[in-house]
Structure 1
Amino acid sequence: IPLNIACVFSPPAEGNRDVAQLQEDLPQELEDNKVEPNRKKAALKEIIDDYNSRYGTNHDLANFDSYYQDVQQRIKDQKYPNSDLPREKKIDITIVVDMLLTGFDSQYLNTLYVDKNLKYHGLIQAFSRTNRVLNDSKPYGNILDFRAQKAAVDEAIALFSGEAHERAKEVWLVDPAPKVIEKLEEATQKLKEFMAAHGLEARPEEVANLKGDEARAGFIEHFKEVRRLTTQLGQYTDLDEAQKAKIEQLIPSDDLRAFSAQYLETAKRLQQESKKREEDPNDPIQQLDFEFVLFDSALIDYDYIMKLIARFSGQPPRKQKMTREQLMGLLASSARLMDEREDLEAYIATLKEGEGLSEEAIRKGYEQFKAERRAAELARIAEKHDLPVEALRGFVEHILARYIFDPDALTELFRPKGLGWKARARAELALMEDLIPLLRRKAEGREISGLEVYEDA
C-alpha cells in the first residue's frame, strides 16, 4: 500500500516574528537555517507544493503555520476509520527535525524512527510522542533507533526516575519479547486447563460445548489474556525465527483466528443475555469486560474484505489462495465487521468461484444484496405484526432521516388498528423488539436517540 508521507521543519525566520518565536524551542532547526537558508527555503517550498498536490490544499511558506497545523490534524485523523475518512486524506509517516517532538499528542502515533542523537529531557520528550496509550491494541509505542543510543536512554531514564531509579527500566520499558512469550505460554496452559476442567479439549470447535453462562464467561477471561499477549507480541519488530516458531507452537495462527471467532460469538451471546437481567454487581456476566478492541484489526476492514471477495470471485478454484471457508473464518475473527458479518457471509455464499466479477461489481452487488435482505426482513416484520409494509417502511425511514426515535410516529403507525391503550402498548413493545436489530443494522453504527427506552424495556 503506498504510504502518505509528509515533512515538516521551520523555514528561515528572515524577520518573521512568528517563525522566530517558534524556533526558540527548535535549537537544531535554528542552527540548520543559518547554513544555506535559501536552499532550505527551496526544499521546504517543494515539500509544501507536493503536499498541496496530494491533499488539494493551498499552503505556502508565507503562511507556514497553517501548513503546520494541517499536518498535525491529518496525523490525528488516523482516529477515523477509512470508511469515515479515506486513508488518502491522512498521513502515515511524518519526517521531522525538531517539530512535533515535544507537546504534540496523538494516541494513534505508534512508532518513532530515530536518526538523530537525543539526550535527557529531549530524549524522554521525543520517545513519549508514541507512548500515549490508546487501548489494549496499542498498550505502548515502538522506538526504532538507528543511532545505537542505549546508553543515552539508560541515562535519561535514570535521571527522570528519581528515587525509583533502581526499578526504572521496569517502569519505563515494556517486557522484552522472551518474557512476554513466557506469559503467553502460561496463558495458553491455563486455557488448556480450563477447558480440561470442563471435560473438553482446548480446540476452537469445543468452545460451543461449554455448559452454562459461568463456563462461557470463564472462557472469555482465559482467552482474552491469550489474545492480549499475542496482540502485544505482534508489535515487536525484532522477533527472531525461533521466537516466531515458539509463538506459533503455543497458539497456531489458524487456532488463534478460530478461537477469536468463538470468543466473539460467545461474547455477543453473553452480552445479549446480560441486557435481559436486572443489574447485579455480583453477577459475573455483567462484570465482564469483553474488550472487543483486542479483536479489531485495522487491516481487516470493509475495503480489505471487498478486495478478497473480488479475488475469490475472479480466480478459478485451483488458483485460489483463500477458500470460501477461510474467507468466512477471517470475517468471524474480526470485531470490526461484527455488524456486517451475517450479511457478508450470506453474500459470499451466493457467489460462484471463478465468476470473474470486478471489485466494483462486488461492491455494487453487495449493496444491492444487503438492500434486498433489509427489504425482505422489513416485509416479514410487517406481516408478523399485521402492518402495511409501506407504512412500516415509512416509519423506519422517518427514524433514520434524523436518527431520532419518534414515539408519536409509532402511535400513528398503530392508530388504524383501533387498539385500546394497553393492547397498543403491548403491540408497540412486540414490534420494537423485532424492529430494533434491523434499525441498528441500517444505522450502520450511528446512534439512534431515544431507542434505548425500548431496548431497556
Structure 2
Amino acid sequence: MRFHIDYYKPEANRQGEADNPTGSKAKKNSAKPNQAVTQRAVVEAILTKHDAATSQRRFNALLATASINDAIAYYNLFKDIQTERQAEDPDFIPLHIACVFSPPAEGNKDVKQLQEDLLQEKADNRQEPEKKKAALQEIIADYNVRYGTNHEFGEFDRYYQDVQQCIKDQKYRNSDCPRGNKIDLTIVVDMLLTGFDSQYLNTLYVDKNLKHHGLIQALSRTNRVLNDTKPYGNILDFRAQEKAVDEAIALFSGEDASRSREIWLVDPAPKVIDKFDTAVAQLESFMEVQGQPCTPDAVNNLKGDTARAEFINRFKEVQRVKTQLDQYTDLNDEQQRQIEQRLPEDQLRGFKGMYLETAQRLKAQQGKTGIEASDAQETIEQLEFELVLFSSSIIDYDYIMGLIARYSQEKPGKETMSREQIINLLAANSNLMDERDDIIAYIDTLEAGKGLSEEAIGNGYQTFKAHKAEDELGALAERHELARDALQAFVGDIRDRMIFDGEQLSDLFAPLELGWKARGKAELALMEELVPFLKKQAGGREISGLAAYE
C-alpha cells in the first residue's frame, strides 16, 4: 500500500497552490526543510484535518514528536485547545488523546531493556527525570479516568500494552466498542514507530526529523492493508522533509530507484480528480445508453438485471475514487469546489441510496437456480458489492437516534434536519441496512415538535421494533398454520441461545400431524421466510446451526 504525504504549509502560503492547481514543483513547497512550525499551529492543523485524514474517525493516528518534552507539551496543548474549542462550539467533538513514552529507568532493568531501542527517549530521560516522571504520572492518571483503568506508574508496561490494545480496538464497530473506549490520536517519541501494526491506524503526523530506515519504518505504521476504505497510508509532515522522503524511498526501491515515487507514493490530487471525473463520465455514458438521465431517481427505471449489475460496477468505481479523495488532506478550495461541482453531495448521497437498494436486490438474487434464476445470473454471481465503501464511522445507531430526537424537539418548519433528510442519510449508508426500514417506519409515527429526549426516542424505537417483530411472527405463524405462541417461543429460544435446534423445529410442527415428507416440505417453507427474520434479529451475530437452511 502506498503513501499520501502532505507537506504542511501554513495557510498564508496556500494561495500559491490555488494559483497553481496542477501541483507542479515550482510553487508546491514554500516551507523549507526542518523549518520550525509552532506547536500550536501543528495542533490546529491536526484538529482541522484529522476527520478527513481518518475518514471521519474510522481510523486513528499517531503524532511522532522529536523529544519527550515535545510530547508532554503537545499533550497539554491538545487539552487546552480542545477545551477552548468546546467552550466556543458546543458541537465540537474533541479527539481522544493518549500519550506514551518510556519513564526514567531509575535502575529498573525492564525499563533499561525497553530503552535499548528507544535512543531519543533514553537520552531525554537523563535530563530532569523527575519532571518527566511527574508528567507521565499525570498522563496515566488522565488515561485511567478516560478509560476506566487503574494503571500505575510503577507498572508502566501494563499501561503501554493497554494503549496498544486500545489503538487496535478501533477495528470494532461503535455498537460493539463505544467510541468513548477508543483512542483517536496517540502522541509518541520513539515508541510504536517500529514493530507496531494495526490495520485501523492510517495516519501519521510528523514533527520530528526522520531519515532512511527510520523514516520508512515510521511511515509504514500507516499502510497495513485493510480494504478499499483505506486506500493508502496518510502522512502529514510538519518538517518539510520531502528530500528525506525521496532519498529513503529511492534507497529502499533497489533497482527500481528511478520509479521510487511511482512505487511508494499515491498520485497527486489533480490526477485523482481526473480519475473521479472519468468515473463520473462513464456513469453518465452508461445511463445515456440506457436512455436515462444521470440522476438517482432514474436508476429505478433501468431495465433488467444486466443493466442493474452494470450500474453497480459503474457507481462503485465512482465511490472508490471519491473515498480516496475524501482522505486527501491537501485539497485546496478550488479543488474541493471542482469535486463538488462534478457530482454535488446531494446527488452523490442519492446515488449511494440507489446503489444500496440495487445491491440488496441483486445480492438476494445470488445463488438462485432453475426458474428462480435471472437472465443475467452469471453476471450477478460475479458481482462484488463492497458495501464497506458505503459505511460510515459516524452514522451509527446512536447518531441516528440523536437526529430523530432533535427532529422531535424542533417545531414543524424549523427543523435543522427534516424527516426526508434523515431518511436520505439512512438510505445512503450501509451501516444500518438491516434496520433501515424499521427506523423509517418508526420516524413515520413521530411528529416534529413533540420534544422527546434521545433516551425516550431510543426506548420508543426498541418498543416499536419489538411490536413489529411480534406482528411479523404472528403473520408468519398464520401463513404456516402454526400456533403463534409456539412460534414466538421457538424464535425466542433461538435468539436467547444463538443456537438453532433442528429437533425443536420438528417439535413445532408436531401438532399438525404431518407425514415425514409433508413435514419436511413444511419445515423448508417456513425456514425460507424465517432465516432472514432470524438474521435480522441477530444483528450481525452468528446463529449456530442456521447455515444449513441458508
Indicate the TM-score class for this superposition, using the shorter chain for normalisation. over 0.9
- The alignment status of 1:162 with 2:257, answered yes or no, reads no
Distance in 2 of aligned mates of 1:171 and 1:308: 44
Other-structure match for 2:474? 379
- What are the superposed Cα offsets for residues 238-264 of structure 1, whole Å, 9 maximum, x if unpaired? 111111111111111011100011000
Q: Residues 400-439 of structure 1 correspond to what in structure 2 (within 5 A)?
A: 400-439=495-534
Indicate the SS of the match to 1:391. helix
Distance in 1 of aligned mates of 2:269 and 2:413: 39
Other-structure match for 1:260? 352
Distance in 1 of aligned mates of 2:238 and 2:272: 24
Distance in 2 of aligned mates of 1:55 and 1:282: 50
Distance in 2 of aligned mates of 1:186 and 1:136: 19
Indicate the SS of the match to 2:186. strand
Indicate the SS of the match to 1:7. strand
Other-structure match for 2:409? 314
- The alignment status of 1:115 with 2:207, answered yes or no, reads yes
Other-structure match for 1:237? 329
Indicate the SS of the match to 2:235. strand
Other-structure match for 2:85? none
Distance in 2 of aligned mates of 1:360 and 1:327: 18
Other-structure match for 2:62? none
Other-structure match for 1:338? 433
Distance in 1 of aligned mates of 2:514 and 2:94: 62
Distance in 2 of aligned mates of 1:137 and 1:427: 43
Other-structure match for 1:443? 538
Indicate the SS of the match to 2:346. helix
Indicate the SS of the match to 1:284. helix
Query: How many pairs align?
Result: 455
Match of 2:394 among 287, 295, 299: 299
Other-structure match for 2:84? none
Other-structure match for 1:398? 493
Distance in 1 of aligned mates of 2:333 and 2:103: 45
Q: Is the 8 A contact 2:353 2:428 kept in 1?
A: yes
Supply the AA of the counterpart residue of 2:523.
Answer: E
Q: Is the 8 A contact 2:366 2:377 kept in 1?
A: no
Q: TM-score, normalised by structure 2?
A: 0.81
Other-structure match for 2:270? 178
- What are the superposed Cα offsets for residues 306-350 of structure 1, whole Å, 9 maximum, x if unpaired? 111111111112321221111111100001110110100100111
Once the two structures are TM-superposed, the CA of residue 132 in structure 1 deviates from its matched residue by 1.2
Q: Residues 37-76 of structure 1 correspond to what in structure 2 (within 5 A)?
A: 37-76=129-168
Distance in 1 of aligned mates of 2:333 and 2:245: 27
Once the two structures are TM-superposed, the CA of residue 277 in structure 1 deviates from its matched residue by 3.0
Distance in 2 of aligned mates of 1:282 and 1:451: 25
Once the two structures are TM-superposed, the CA of residue 21 in structure 1 deviates from its matched residue by 1.0
- The alignment status of 1:251 with 2:343, answered yes or no, reads yes
- In the alignment, structure 1 segments of 5+ residues that lack a partner are none
Other-structure match for 1:206? 298
Distance in 1 of aligned mates of 2:377 and 2:480: 38
Supply the AA of the counterpart residue of 2:261.
Answer: K
Once the two structures are TM-superposed, the CA of residue 282 in structure 1 deviates from its matched residue by 8.7
Q: Is the 8 A contact 2:287 2:293 kept in 1?
A: yes
Match of 2:284 among 192, 197, 220: 192
Indicate the SS of the match to 1:110. strand
CA RMSD of aligned residues (A): 1.4
Match of 1:25 among 117, 129, 133: 117
Distance in 2 of aligned mates of 1:322 and 1:142: 33
Distance in 1 of aligned mates of 2:163 and 2:311: 44
Indicate the SS of the match to 2:380. coil
Other-structure match for 2:227? 135
- What are the superposed Cα offsets for residues 119-143 of structure 1, whole Å, 9 maximum, x if unpaired? 1111111111111122111111211
Distance in 2 of aligned mates of 1:144 and 1:413: 62
Supply the AA of the counterpart residue of 1:427.
Answer: A
Aligned-residue sequence identity (percent) comes to 64
Q: TM-score, normalised by structure 1?
A: 0.97
Q: Bigger CA drift: 338-347 or 135-144? A: 135-144
- The alignment status of 1:270 with 2:362, answered yes or no, reads yes
Distance in 1 of aligned mates of 2:462 and 2:109: 55
Match of 1:95 among 187, 190, 199: 187
Other-structure match for 2:422? 327
Q: Is the 8 A contact 2:103 2:125 kept in 1?
A: yes
Once the two structures are TM-superposed, the CA of residue 212 in structure 1 deviates from its matched residue by 1.1
Supply the AA of the counterpart residue of 1:176.
Answer: P
Distance in 2 of aligned mates of 1:354 and 1:244: 36
Match of 1:77 among 161, 166, 169: 169
Indicate the SS of the match to 1:6. strand
- The alignment status of 1:219 with 2:311, answered yes or no, reads yes
